[in-house]
């Protein structure tokens, strides 16, 4: 019912199941390392702020039901194979130059 404080040089917990329920949860530290077979997250809103993000995966799929927006100072997309963009309408606008460099260009 009151407050519990534990202070130790190390702490290990081994259990078959663990549940933590709290109104507010805060973790602080210098390094967080986690290893899971699967991660399931469900949130009404997710806000993440990083100075740098590096993600590496074998495959990646993202589905957005309504609106997806990216704002960047610059952007680069590289693909070893084919890049496909499919939409009902596509609008591309450049304030200065548009360059298309290819052996063959098909329109229409």
Q: What is the pLDDT along the chain (108 residues), one digit of tens a residue?
A: 789 999 999 999 999 999 999 999 999 999 999 999 999 999 999 999 999 999 999 999 999 999 999 999 999 999 999 999 999 999 999 999 999 999 999 998
Structure token pair of residue 16: 């078959």
Rounded to whole angstroms, the Cα distance separating 1 from 23 reads 15
The pLDDT, as a whole number, for residue 35 is 95
What pTM was computed for the model?
0.69
Structure token pair of residue 66: 């309504």
Instruction: Please state, in angstroms and as integers, the Cα–Cα distance from residue 5 to each residue in 2, 8, 48, following that order.
Output: 10, 10, 29
**CB-side neighbour CA atoms (13 Å) of 54:** 0
Q: From the centroid of its chain, how far is CA 100?
A: 31
């Amino acid at each position: 019912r009151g407050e519990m404080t534990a202070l130790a040089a190390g702490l290990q917990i081994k259990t078959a199941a663990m549940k933590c329920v709290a109104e507010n949860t805060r973790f602080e530290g210098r390094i967080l390392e986690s290893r899971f077979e699967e991660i399931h997250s469900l949130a009404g809103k997710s806000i993440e702020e990083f100075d740098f993000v590096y993600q590496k995966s074998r495959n990646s799929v993202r589905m957005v039901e309504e609106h997806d927006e990216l704002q960047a100072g610059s952007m680069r997309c590289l693909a070893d194979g084919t890049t496909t963009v499919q939409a009902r309408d596509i609008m591309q606008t450049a304030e200065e130059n548009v360059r298309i460099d290819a052996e063959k260009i098909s329109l229409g």
